[in-house]
Amino acid sequence: MIESIIFASGCFWCTEAIFQMLRGVKSVASGFSGGTVANPSYYQVAGRNTGHAESIKLEYDPAVVKLEDLLAVFFSSHDPTTLNRQGADIGPEYRSAIYFYTPEQKVIIENYIKKLATDRVFTKPVVTEVKPFINFFPAEPEHQNYYNKNLTAMYCQINIDPKIAKLKKSYARLLK
């Protein structure tokens, strides 16, 4: 049975590229979640009046990849201790967030975050927003599969390539 979850961790191009590489991930779509405006454009979300975060919708097979593994990749691929910011990207659309679909997912996420605190993985508290799924609106076509369509773009080389190198080093067992 395929499950879904929404992750927001800054620029969706980075997040999409990372999760596309994992075994058990059936699909990844870039889009917007957590806000109040239906079918917003990239520019509307960047204008900060929609309440949405740049997000990805993952569909995954829990028989192949556990939610805990997805959470490990999620929390290691961005800074979940900064509010409304990832690197040079600043604003509520770049917040760290997880929008869950089931009560079971909520428990797993909350326990994972508690373990991060207990293990002192970060020097500051995790500020990742954890809320039930309310909406997801796919971004425009030019934002889908961005990294794979733009490998030589400077943004990809500077921002995404190092994240992929870290993923390959730390989570090789999860790669396709």
- Indicate which residues carry an active-site annotation: 11
- 158: pLDDT strictly greater than 90: yes
Q: What is the pLDDT of residues 28-81, one digit of tens each?
A: 999 999 999 999 999 999 999 999 999 999 999 999 999 999 999 999 999 999
Is domain 3-174 in CATH 3.30.1060.10, yes or no?
yes
Sort 21 into a burial class: Cβ within 10 Å, 0-12 / 13-18 / 19+: middle
- Locate the domains of the chain by residue range: 3-174
